[in-house]
Structure 1
Amino acid sequence: MDQVNVERELSSYIGRILRDHFGKGPGSVFVTVADPFITIYFTNFLSPTERSLLQSGQAELVQKIRDRLMDSLSGEITKYLESRSGMDILDFYYDWNLETKTGMFVAVSKAFNPAEPSQTYTNQMAFHEEIGRISLEAEKIPGLIQSYLINSRTLVVVRENILVNIEKEIIAHGGQEMLRIAKRSLEKRLLSTNQEQLEKLLNTKVRDAFIDWNFGRDSSSVLFILEPIA
């Protein structure tokens, strides 16, 4: 099956599984298969129940419910992605922007080697330095930063060795859920605060930004959805 058909099939599957488990499917699903990554971006994803919870100021509860559902769904989604793409998945990341009703999944193949140089684009090293500076505000400068411009609208940033000792201790004591919620809030706020500088380096507008972590492997993925880069 060619790439276009694989992406179309994965898009249909993601829409269906989200609808079956969350009560409402997304309006649109955009899938890009670019080994060693599969990126999935979806829009207009918010159920009536979630909307009511948000209106009553319970955004954190919505985050917890979604995260717990994804704990049970990630394995199933990963297996399907592997079966249709032919990749062996190492990491699976997810995140949401409740205000904009958007979300993302990023799957990373076991063939991925973060030590290998990524393809270059204008101001890439300066962009990495800015990501490192933002990371330092939240925890510390990552041991490694790589970025991959998958297409004109999709930029994946991989960070390795980002956790500080207190975070590792929280994880060891079973605090992953609250740590994820706290880090998601903090780091996305920092990305928003520094968005103008990021856009200047990328020479385009950032339409959406998502972030997630694999605490066990001390790694993180940031997905930027961009206005098409000229």
Structure 2
Amino acid sequence: MDHIQSQQLYQLIASFTGKVFREHFGKGPESVVVSISHKFTTIYLRNFLINSERVLLEQNHESIIRQIRDQIMQRVVPEITSYLKLVLGLEPEKLYYDWDFGSKNGMLVAIFPEVIGVTEPQPKDYPGKSETERELMRISGRVQKEPLEVSSYEINPRTLLILRRGVLGELEKELIRLNCGELLRDVKRRLEKGYITGSSQMSSALGRTIADCFMEWDDELDQSITVILTNSPR
């Protein structure tokens, strides 16, 4: 598939995503940016915040917004998953999402069972890869536990996707068993995002500053998914 065809495919996915969000939330994102590389599709939602959520944010009720969005996303995720299968010819294994209410942006990540053959293969390495993975290992250990494995991928020149496997310690597993998983995620998300966006080591390794960060955990697979968006290279 050539560059023009790839861009048309990205636009189809972006348009469908915007339509689904408008139908279910009553308002869609200002823009949607789609990228496909390796086994991943990222869907970046810019400026997505409805008026009622704005009021809740002003009252420091971010957790309530997350709970409401989780309920709506139960209907959104199957529709987007089915559409990705239709246009890419490959069914996603999982679709994750996260929000940054400060920037009003969001991120969806679809993980596929094999490399998606609609774009030119991306190189496995990128400048600063080993340093970035070491820093993420250090940050994980600072919050709770170093993962057993870290692998990272450059989705496009400004987007990195990181998988960390074996991330749950015994304390976390027990909190999840006691139905405290959501509270655990909220705390870890706040801490890890703060450490990542404030990491001078990571910015130095990548040669660019970090603009946005999204993450989600999969307790069943004992892994976390992190997407880092950077500013333009210096």
Q: Same-fold call, TM > 0.5?
A: yes
Aligned counterparts, 1:61-210, within 5 A: 61-111=64-114, 119-194=124-199, 196-210=200-214
Relative to structure 2, which stretch is displaced further, 46-55 or 172-181?
Answer: 172-181
User: Structure 2: which amino acid aligns with 1:96?
Assistant: W
User: Structure 1: which amino acid aligns with 2:212?
Assistant: D
- After the TM superposition, which parts of structure 1 deviate over 6 Å for at least 4 consecutive aligned residues? none
Are 1:216 and 2:220 counterparts? Answer: yes
User: Structure 1: which amino acid aligns with 2:201?
Assistant: Q
User: Structure 2: which amino acid aligns with 1:211?
Assistant: M
Shift of 1:45: 0.4
CA deviation digits over 1:91-120, x for unaligned, max 9?
Answer: 2111111011101011111126xxxxx711
Shift of 1:68: 2.6
User: What TM-score does the superposition give when structure 1 sets the normalisation length?
Assistant: 0.90
Are 1:226 and 2:230 counterparts? Answer: yes
CA–CA distance in structure 2, aligned partners of residues 12 and 157 of structure 1 = 26
CA–CA distance in structure 1, aligned partners of residues 186 and 70 of structure 2 = 9
Task: Report the 3-state secondary structure (helix = DSSP H, G, I; strand = E; otherwise coil) of the residue aligned with 1:121.
Answer: coil
User: CA separation of 1:157/1:100 partners in 2, compared to 1, >3 Å: closer, same or farther?
Assistant: same
Q: Alignment length, in residue pairs?
A: 224
Percent identical residues: 35
Task: Report the 3-state secondary structure (helix = DSSP H, G, I; strand = E; otherwise coil) of the residue aligned with 2:85.
Answer: helix
Shift of 1:175: 3.0
CA–CA distance in structure 2, aligned partners of residues 120 and 55 of structure 1 = 42
User: Structure 2: which amino acid aligns with 1:91?
Assistant: K
Structure-2 residue corresponding to 1:115: none
Contact 1:152 1:227 in 2 (8 A): no
Structure 2 residue runs without a partner (length 5+): 116-122
User: CA separation of 1:69/1:186 partners in 2, compared to 1, >3 Å: closer, same or farther?
Assistant: farther
Alpha-carbon RMSD across the aligned residues, in angstroms, is 1.8
Shift of 1:46: 0.4
Shift of 1:39: 0.6
Structure 1 residue runs without a partner (length 5+): 113-117
Relative to structure 2, which stretch is displaced further, 30-39 or 176-185?
Answer: 176-185
Contact 1:87 1:109 in 2 (8 A): yes
Shift of 1:220: 1.2
Contact 1:162 1:218 in 2 (8 A): yes
Contact 1:42 1:104 in 2 (8 A): yes
Contact 2:30 2:48 in 1 (8 A): yes
Contact 1:64 1:177 in 2 (8 A): no
Relative to structure 2, which stretch is displaced further, 62-71 or 209-218?
Answer: 62-71
User: CA separation of 1:33/1:192 partners in 2, compared to 1, >3 Å: closer, same or farther?
Assistant: closer
